[in-house]
């Protein structure tokens, strides 16, 4: 009986030890997976072969729509232009997403709605515009917190005379 009790205790200890090893391994795997970057592809992905199929002077606007579909954005100021934009963002753990790749296919049309020019721009062609965080000052004086709190003491009602 004592021998049987001893083997049960050993089996229980081994099971607990095995569970601890499995838990440790799964915790290690989860921590490694948490550090893996998350890749996010946004926009229209186009390949260079489809860009080569566009011929200047012969490809029409409807043919471009048939090949690439609806553009991401359209410019209609001087002559109409189609822009197909693709971006790849990488997010690593707690950091903000970072754009690592950008391709912009710009298709320019003439007045007859045929392709006049085609250009492919990358991330290095973009211009970074700094955001200015200035504020415009208002007229008058700024009140402190105490002036704001106690400034309304004694002011009750909407200012119209009361009738008795």
Residue 25 belongs to a domain: no
Residue 57 belongs to a domain: yes
> What confidence tens digit (pLDDT) does each residue in 8-34 have?
677 777 877 788 788 777 877 777 666
Residue 48 belongs to a domain: yes
- Supply the range of the domain harboring residue 62: 35-125
Residue 12 belongs to a domain: no
> What confidence tens digit (pLDDT) does each residue in 133-148 have?
677 776 666 777 787 7
**How many domains in the chain?**
1
Task: Judge whether residue 82 has pLDDT over 90.
Answer: yes
On whether the pTM is more than 0.85, the answer is: no
Task: Judge whether residue 1 has pLDDT over 60.
Answer: no
Q: Which long-range contacts (CB under 8 A, 24 or more apart) does 37-42 make?
A: 37/90, 37/91, 37/92, 38/90, 38/91, 38/92, 39/88, 39/89, 39/90, 40/88, 40/89, 40/90, 40/91, 40/97, 41/86, 41/87, 41/88, 42/86, 42/87, 42/88, 42/89
Residue 157 belongs to a domain: no
Residue 8 belongs to a domain: no
Residue 6 belongs to a domain: no
Residue 85 belongs to a domain: yes
């Amino acid at each position: 009986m004592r021998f049987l009790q001893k083997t049960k205790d050993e089996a229980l200890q081994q099971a607990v030890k095995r569970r601890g090893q499995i838990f440790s391994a799964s915790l290690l795997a989860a921590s490694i997976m948490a550090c893996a970057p998350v890749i996010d592809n946004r926009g229209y992905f186009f390949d260079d072969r489809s860009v080569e199929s566009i011929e200047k002077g012969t490809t029409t606007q409807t043919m471009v729509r048939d090949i690439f579909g609806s553009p991401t954005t359209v410019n209609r100021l001087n002559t109409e232009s189609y822009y197909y934009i693709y971006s790849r963002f990488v997010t690593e753990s707690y950091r903000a997403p970072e754009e690592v790749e950008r391709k912009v296919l710009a298709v320019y049309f003439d007045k007859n709605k045929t392709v006049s020019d085609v250009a492919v721009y990358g991330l290095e062609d973009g211009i970074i515009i700094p955001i200015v965080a200035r504020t415009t000052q208002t007229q008058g004086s700024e009140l402190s917190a105490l002036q704001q709190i106690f400034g309304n003491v004694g002011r009750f009602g909407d200012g119209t005379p009361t009738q008795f």
